[in-house]
Structure 1
Amino acid sequence: MIWHGSAVMRYGGSMRRFVICLAALALHAMLCFPDVRAFAQPSDQPAQPPAKAAPGQEEGSFNIHDERTDIDVSYPTFDNAAVTADIRQWAHHLVDAFRAGIEEEQPLPFKSTLKVGYTVSHPSDVALSITFDVYTYTGGAHGNLDLITLSYDLRDARRLSLENLFADPETALARMSAYAYARLSATLGDMHVEDMLRSGTTPDVDNYASIALIPGGIRIHFQPYQVAPWAAGPQHVDMPLEDLADAEPRAALWGR
């Protein structure tokens, strides 16, 4: 444990660069690891049913195991060739960014880890969202988890940003901010840290970079440490489309 603490000091550069790469990918994009999700606090939000595979949905992967790294990245593939190509390229860039960061540093006395899994949501026949759980470990007391979402309009294979989801994205941010703060205030319990929650739910686009479309609304993902301590785990809030009505959601994406 002491050595790992030293590793963070000596080898923190690669992790910092990789986290920056992840942030850039998340902003550009707008696994399930049970050991990470297990400590999430209970929520009174209605549970979503497991996502069903889309017609033609299969799985691709990048698996690299060498003397320095353990990499297992899974991603979905679909009949839509353009969407599949974009997802595959995204996953490839993620692996390249991780390996580049590791190669620039001195060898560690353990393997650096990148594990990526995903869930798929289908709000309608013309849209889908993928939520990637990106787990990395390059030393320290625990690994790091980032949740990154990619959403697509299947009619033209376009990757969707906040501006594509709402005619008035500024109003959408304001409504999401108020809704998320209220919901998390009610569910975090002993993990409620007011400064973290206020900062992590302000109507800043960076705070809402990981949004997935779900039937009837959106799922807002918050990273570990964004709105609560690490021990609280990653958080999410499901928000009905009706509560975003004055932001003018692009209703066709939800089959409306």
Structure 2
Amino acid sequence: MKRLVVCGLLPVMLLACQREAPPASAAPATPAADVQPLGEAPPRLEDVVEMDAKFIVGISYPPEANRYPGLAAELHRYAQRARDELMEAVRGAELPAGTMYDLSLSFSTVADTPELLAIAADGSSYTGGAHDNPLIERFVWLVAEERLLTAGALIEDEEDWRAISAFVREQLHAALSQRLDADELEPDERLRLMRSAGRMIDEGSGADVGNYQQFEPVLGSGGKLAGVRFVFPPYQVGPYSDGVQTVEVPAAVLLPHVTPRYRGLFVQG
């Protein structure tokens, strides 16, 4: 059974959406002449399309990311690492006939204010196996400081993370319960899934800053933040089939725990 690439990055990717190697007699496709090759960080980020008999790569960037060279370099490095991993797989073991290696990665703007620019990276990479490997990353660029805002800088104290963890965990358990109710399972099966998925939630949302590295701002009035949305990739707080899960923590809950220097980013009161 042929697998399908998750498309939507670039129009040309739609033409190659089915992951199938070209016939042996077909000449490999080549990137357009004006495509910026991935190597050292470019002066400006450029969308990338690469097609070959064994692989296909599609990477797209939002134009506003080029306003800040430091941020552009971070995005480019992330894309480069993903591409390097794909190329390593291409040089390794062969895929079964009729399938291709592929990388589909889209950077999009989540928030753009005078104080910050937040970029979401979403995509997948297929290097063999039952399904794609998800690519999930968030970048929050502080304009004045010219650096990325990290979860550890936003909330520094371990006790504060316990409070955030308790809120997030409650929301995840509630969402799990709603999903299981919608499935109308037998009581024994519902209990079994509630326990197994619940353990994943408890492990993946514990009061460890490492569990909260991926987050994006939620815009409120006047360009201030109404909260933060924490993003959990597949497997962290649930099985792969549950996909990416998010929990929005409103400013009213978050602010008492935010490092004083960053409280001004949020809606007050």
Match of 1:107 among 75, 91, 94: 94
Does 1:253 pair with 2:265? yes
In structure 2, the CA distance between the partners of 1:59 and 1:85, relative to structure 1 (3 Å rule), is: closer
Does 1:182 pair with 2:182? no
Corresponding residue number in structure 2 for 1:198: 202
Equivalent runs, 1:26-105 vs 2, <5 Å: 60-76=46-62, 77-103=65-91, 105=92
Shift of 1:32: 7.1
Equivalent runs, 1:100-249 vs 2, <5 Å: 100-103=88-91, 105-109=92-96, 110-122=99-111, 124-166=113-155, 168-188=156-176, 189-190=179-180, 192=194, 193-215=197-219, 216-249=226-259
Instruction: Structure 1 unaligned segments of length 5 or more: list them.
Output: 5-30, 34-57
In structure 2, the CA distance between the partners of 1:126 and 1:86, relative to structure 1 (3 Å rule), is: same
Q: Sequence identity of aligned pairs in percent? A: 25
**Counterpart AA for 1:142:** H
Return the index of the structure with the highest Cα Rg. 2
Alpha carbon RMSD of aligned pairs, Å? 2.7
**Counterpart AA for 1:64:** E
State the distance in 1 between where 2:8 and 2:244 align: 12
* Mapped contact 1:123–1:255 kept (Cα < 8 A): no
Shift of 1:181: 0.9
In structure 2, the CA distance between the partners of 1:87 and 1:146, relative to structure 1 (3 Å rule), is: closer
State the distance in 2 between where 1:130 and 1:65 align: 26
Q: How many residues align?
A: 203
Which TM-score applies when normalising by structure 1? 0.69
Shift of 1:151: 1.2
State the distance in 2 between where 1:106 and 1:98 align: 12
In structure 2, the CA distance between the partners of 1:169 and 1:212, relative to structure 1 (3 Å rule), is: farther
* Mapped contact 1:124–1:255 kept (Cα < 8 A): no
State the distance in 2 between where 1:254 and 1:127 align: 12
**Counterpart AA for 2:53:** E
Q: Deviations over 1:194-223 (max 9, x none)?
A: 111111111122221211122211110111
State the distance in 1 between where 2:8 and 2:248 align: 19
Q: Which moved more, 1:173-182 or 1:190-199?
A: 190-199
Shift of 1:152: 0.8
**Counterpart AA for 1:157:** E
Shift of 1:173: 2.3
Corresponding residue number in structure 2 for 1:24: none
